[in-house]
Structures are given as C-alpha cells and as structure tokens.
C-alpha cells in the first residue's frame, strides 16, 4: 500500500469524524498493523497530515487529531455560534427594537460618527443554561436590510455576518457586575444582585468593530466551563 | 459625556456627582445618565452616600493555561502562604486523583496587590507524588514555577468551572470584603501531558476586580473544522 492511500484513508476518517477532534489516533505501531505497511510509509502519511495541521504529534504521548480549539466550545457555550435556544424559535422573546443615534460611547467602539443610526434590539432567551437578557447593537449603515425577526431562526454570528462587512474575529469579555434597573427587571432579580455579563465585539479582518452583543445572566444560577488544550 | 467621565476615572475614586457636574459644566442628570452607563458596564460602582468607586479590573485570558501569578503579571502582586496540610482525599477529589490516592497536600494561598487581597486559593496535590511540596514556603513563589523546576511537571490541559458565590464569613475575612460580596468561584482540574492529574485548585476572586476575556480569530474557520 502506498503512503498516499494511507494518507487518504486517515484523512477521510478524520474528516468524517471516525477519529474525532482532540482524540488520539492509533500509534505508529498500531497503524503499521492496521494498514500492513512499513513504518516509513506510516511516517510519511502522518508527516503530511501534520504539515496540513490535521494531526498533532505530542512528544511522549502520541498522535492526536488536531483539536478544534477550545475557543469553539466557549463560542458555543456563550451562544455566539449555535445558541441552543434556536432549536425552538419561540424561546426568543423580543423586548425592544428601535433605531437610535449611536451616541459618543458606541460611536467610539464602532469607529463611526456619533450622529449615525444604530439598531438597538433587546430580547430575552430561555435555554437549558437558564434565562438570559441580551442586547444586540447594529449600525444601520452596516446592516441596511436588517430584520430583527431573523434572530428567531438565525444565530447571532450569521446575523452579524450578513452586513456589509466580512466578519472575522470576536473579542469576548466576561465579567461579574451588579444588576442595573433594566437587567434586574428582565431577569427577575433584585437591583445590585450579581450578574455575569458577556460582551461580544464582532470585528473584521482589519479590526473594525461591526456589531456589539451583550448577554446577561443570573450569576448565582449559571455555571460556565472551559476546556484548555 | 461618557468620555469625560472615563477620562477622570483613571483616578482611584471619582469626585461626587455634584463635583463632576460642576467641573464639566453639565447637568446632574447628564452625569447620572453617564454613571448609569458606566455602572452597567461594570466600570464603576455607585453606592448611596459612600460615593462612586472605580472598579479597576485585572484582565485574565480565559484560555490561558498559566498560573495565577503569571496571569496577574504585576510586580506589585505578592503571594501570602497561609498553610500547608495533609488531608484525606474526598470523594469528589478521588474522581480526579484516582482511586489509588489517599492523602492529599492542601495548600492555601492569597494573592495580594499592595496588601489588598485579590484572590484566595486552595490547591490540592497527590501527596505521594509531590512529597517535597509539604516543606515549601510559597511566599512570593509561583506554584507552577516550582512544579516545573522541582518536578518537571507542567500543566498541559485542563478544565475550569466558573460560578459566582456570595462571600461568607470566612471568605469575607480572607479577602477583606463585606459579607455577601460577589466572588468568582473557579474550580480547575489540571493534567500533565501524559494524562496524569497534576493539581486541582479552588479559587475565589473578588468579582469586581477581574475581567476575563478572549479573542477568537477566523471564527468561521473554527466552525468548519
């Protein structure tokens, strides 16, 4: 068997999830037996997968399918990529949608003039992670055809990517703040109770911020987990 | 307006609302509006009577696999070593350390910035594996540095759970905050490259002093992986 065949077979098994991201591959000895080829052949196939960043060699511990980076887990968890609430669309409840002037604070973050218009959407979501109160801020100029109803079926990241700019990066911060009059009301908490506030800044390849999302949750009833690789 | 407030907030504490309004020549209600905004952002805490407090935050990389000491990366941060003791493994910790582990070393430390506590940490090790740690005085020493130097042990991967709790008597005392102050409670379980459990730590951080962050680039590529 040629190294190309071994390579194609392994590549296929990684692509279809037979060997899943972050998990180990059989070691070189085992692969030799599976494919009935020489060590050199295996090594050549693995080398190619390593150079294509599909496989990671870890000294002393063997071969792994490259993890899809723990960031994705967080993005999933905090709802940017595939919020679980979208599985059933009636769990998004709109509170407010209107156009307003950006104002100096957001103008600064978005790098636009303070007199431009901004879509301001606030909504509540119910998911297995509990209740959260969210706000999405989109400059009208970037999102001329924005229809808030799409939030019921479209993940926020895709909504943000539907604007004039190509989305590339997300900066997220996570802090413990006191519930304001508004968030306490939306989350049924006392003013001043601790809430986890997540801020997502969506930006283009050249670091221009194109949208802002806030998510607030009752901190005493929310748990986040992070995996490190 | 908010810009003006943020330019003053480089100071330790803000002047009163009236003073801000006078200084900037604007109305009290404009000041209140701006403060509400900054309060929402977690930048300041406004307390009845006691005034406006600026929440200076320490940024921590959410995906960093670094020790607290390295994350803080500040010359002014000192470590107080409270105690080291031997304890019996609990059920929960046995899951992590494995059924052969019976005795754990429990090390309690406090990170301080200019003598003000920032975090309180309780770390557990398998005593059989790291016996010499019992003798170490961790005052101003990084735990991970010692593990690396003495045992060649490096945390490679792990899991962290973040929750929020309100400080009880004991924690309020240790961190010099009021009872009921919101704290981050972070439980981390760290492994070495060869899958051996290394240490498990429970950390309490004063909520308003820390902000976690991360940056994800090429997010659509992640999705396709």
Note whether B193 contacts A61, CB cutoff 8 Å. Answer: yes
Q: With 80 as the cut, is the pLDDT of residue B75 above it? A: no
Note whether B219 contacts A170, CB cutoff 8 Å. Answer: yes
Q: How many percent of chain A have pLDDT more than 90?
A: 40
Query: Residue A80: its pLDDT value, please?
Result: 44
The neighbour count for residue B204, using CB atoms within 10 Å, is: 22
Which of B5, B63, B156 to mutate to test binding with chain A, by most A CBs within 10 Å of its CB? B63
Collect all residues of chain A within an 8 Å Cβ-Cβ radius of residue B211.
173-175
Query: Residue B193: its pLDDT value, please?
Result: 84
Average pLDDT over residues B31-41: 81
Which distant-in-sequence residues (6+ apart) come within 8 Å of A17 by Cβ?
none
CA distance B180 to chain A (A): 10
CA distance A4 to chain B (A): 22
CA dist B218 and A121 (Å) reads 26
Beta-carbon-side half-sphere exposure of residue A196 (alpha carbons within 13 Å): 26
Note whether B210 contacts A176, CB cutoff 8 Å. Answer: yes
Average pLDDT over residues A128-156: 83
**Of all helices (H) and strands (E), which one includes residue A106?**
helix A103-110
> Using N-to-C axis directions, what is the helix angle for A39-51 and A28-35, rounded to 10°?
110
Q: With 60 as the cut, is the pLDDT of residue A85 above it? A: no
Q: Are B159 and A223 in contact (CB under 8 A)?
A: no
The answer to whether B225 contacts chain A (CB < 8 Å) is yes
Q: Are B180 and B163 in contact (CB under 8 A)?
A: no
Nearest CA in chain A to B213: A173
The answer to whether B50 contacts chain A (CB < 8 Å) is no
Q: How many percent of chain B have pLDDT more than 90?
A: 33
CA distance A137 to chain B (A): 15
Residue whose C-alpha is closest to residue A131's, from A31, A217, A226, A212: A217
Average pLDDT over residues B32-48: 79
Collect all residues of chain A within an 8 Å Cβ-Cβ radius of residue B1.
104
Q: How many percent of chain A have pLDDT more than 70?
A: 83
Q: With 50 as the cut, is the pLDDT of residue A72 above it? A: no
Average pLDDT over residues B136-146: 85
Collect all residues of chain B within an 8 Å Cβ-Cβ radius of residue A228.
63, 65, 157-160, 190
Q: For chain B, what is the HEC assignment? A: CHHHHHHHCCCCECCCHHHHHHHHCCCHHHHHHHHHHHHHCCCEEEECCCEEEECCCEEEECCCCCCHHHHHCCCCEEEEEEEEEEEECCHHHHHHHCCCCCEEEEEEEEEEECCEEEEEEEEEEECCCCHHHHHCCCCCCCHHHHHHHHHCCCCCEEEEEEEEEECCHHHHHHHCCCCCCEEEEEEEEEECCCCCEEEEEEEEEEHHHEEEEEEECCHHHHHHC
Which of B36, B50, B62, B70 to mutate to test binding with chain A, by most A CBs within 10 Å of its CB? B62
**Of all helices (H) and strands (E), which one includes residue A187?**
helix A181-187
Question: For chain B, what is the mean pLDDT?
Answer: 83
Max mean pLDDT range (B45-54, B78-87, B151-160): B78-87
Nearest CA in chain B to A65: B225
Average pLDDT over residues B26-54: 79
Q: With 60 as the cut, is the pLDDT of residue A89 above it? A: no
CA-CA distances (angstroms) from residue A128 to A77, A132, A221? 11, 11, 12
Average pLDDT over residues B143-162: 85
Question: For chain A, what is the mean pLDDT?
Answer: 82
Size of interface A-B (CB pairs under 8 A): 141
Of B162, B165, B211, nearest to A173 by CB-CB distance is: B211
Q: With 90 as the cut, is the pLDDT of residue B117 above it? A: yes
Note whether B157 contacts A21, CB cutoff 8 Å. Answer: no
CA dist B68 and B147 (Å) reads 14
Torsional class of A90: left (φ above 0), alpha (ψ -120 to 50), beta (otherwise): alpha
Q: Are B57 and B38 in contact (CB under 8 A)?
A: no
CA distance B198 to chain A (A): 14
Question: pLDDT digit string (tens) for A92-114?
Answer: 888 899 999 998 889 999 999 98
The answer to whether B166 contacts chain A (CB < 8 Å) is yes
Question: pLDDT digit string (tens) for B47-66?
Answer: 766 677 777 788 777 766 66
Query: Residue B17: its pLDDT value, please?
Result: 80
Q: Name the least confident of A79-88, B129-138, B197-206.
A: A79-88
pLDDT band at A90 (very low <50, low <70, confident <90, very high): very low
Collect all residues of chain B within an 8 Å Cβ-Cβ radius of residue A196.
164
Query: Residue A86: its pLDDT value, please?
Result: 42
Query: Residue B224: its pLDDT value, please?
Result: 39
Residue whose C-alpha is closest to residue B167's, from B126, B130, B209, B138: B209
Query: Residue A93: its pLDDT value, please?
Result: 85
Query: Residue A43: its pLDDT value, please?
Result: 92
Collect all residues of chain B within an 8 Å Cβ-Cβ radius of residue A106.
none
CA distance A193 to chain B (A): 8
Query: Residue A101: its pLDDT value, please?
Result: 94
Max mean pLDDT range (A57-61, A86-90, A140-144, B42-46): A140-144
């Amino acid at each position: 068997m040629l190294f190309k065949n071994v390579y194609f077979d392994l590549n296929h098994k990684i692509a279809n999830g037979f060997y899943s991201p972050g998990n180990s591959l059989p070691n070189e000895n085992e692969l030799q037996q599976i494919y009935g080829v020489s060590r050199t052949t295996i090594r050549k196939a693995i080398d190619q997968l390593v150079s294509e960043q599909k496989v990671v060699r870890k000294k002393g511990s063997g071969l792994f399918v490259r993890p899809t980076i723990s960031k994705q887990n967080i993005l999933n968890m905090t709802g940017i990529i595939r919020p679980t609430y979208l599985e059933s669309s009636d769990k998004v409840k709109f509170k407010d949608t209107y156009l307003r002037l950006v104002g100096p604070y957001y103008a600064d973050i978005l790098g636009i003039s303070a007199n431009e218009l901004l879509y301001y959407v606030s909504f509540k979501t119910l998911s297995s992670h509990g209740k959260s109160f969210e706000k999405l801020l989109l400059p009208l100029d970037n999102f001329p055809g924005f229809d808030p109803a799409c939030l019921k079926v479209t993940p926020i990241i895709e909504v943000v990517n539907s604007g004039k700019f190509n989305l590339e990066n997300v900066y997220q911060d996570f802090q413990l703040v006191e519930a304001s009059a508004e968030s306490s009301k939306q989350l049924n908490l006392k003013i001043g109770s601790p809430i986890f506030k997540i801020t997502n800044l969506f930006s283009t390849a050249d670091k221009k911020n194109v949208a802002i999302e806030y998510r607030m949750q009752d901190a005493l009833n929310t748990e986040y987990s992070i995996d490190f690789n | 307006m908010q810009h003006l407030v943020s330019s003053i907030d480089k100071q330790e504490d803000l002047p009163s609302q009236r003073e801000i309004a006078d200084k900037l020549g604007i109305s009290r209600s404009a000041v209140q509006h701006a403060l509400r905004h900054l309060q929402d952002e977690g930048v300041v805490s406004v307390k009845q009577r006691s005034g406006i407090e600026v929440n200076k935050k320490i940024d921590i990389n959410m995906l960093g696999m670094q020790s607290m000491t390295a994350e803080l990366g500040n010359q002014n941060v000192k470590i107080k070593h409270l105690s080291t003791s031997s304890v019996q493994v609990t059920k929960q910790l046995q899951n992590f350390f494995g059924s052969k582990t019976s005795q754990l070393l429990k090390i309690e430390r406090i990170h301080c910035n200019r003598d003000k506590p920032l975090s309180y940490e309780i770390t557990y090790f398998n005593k059989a594996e790291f016996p010499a740690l019992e003798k170490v005085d961790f005052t101003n020493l990084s735990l991970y540095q010692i593990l690396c130097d003495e045992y060649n042990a490096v945390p490679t991967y792990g899991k962290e759970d973040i929750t929020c709790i309100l400080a009880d008597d004991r924690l309020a005392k240790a961190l010099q905050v009021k009872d009921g102050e919101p704290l981050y409670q972070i439980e981390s379980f760290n492994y070495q490259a060869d899958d051996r459990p290394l240490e498990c730590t429970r950390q309490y951080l004063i909520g308003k002093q820390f902000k976690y962050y991360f940056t994800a680039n090429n997010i659509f590529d992640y999705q396709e992986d």
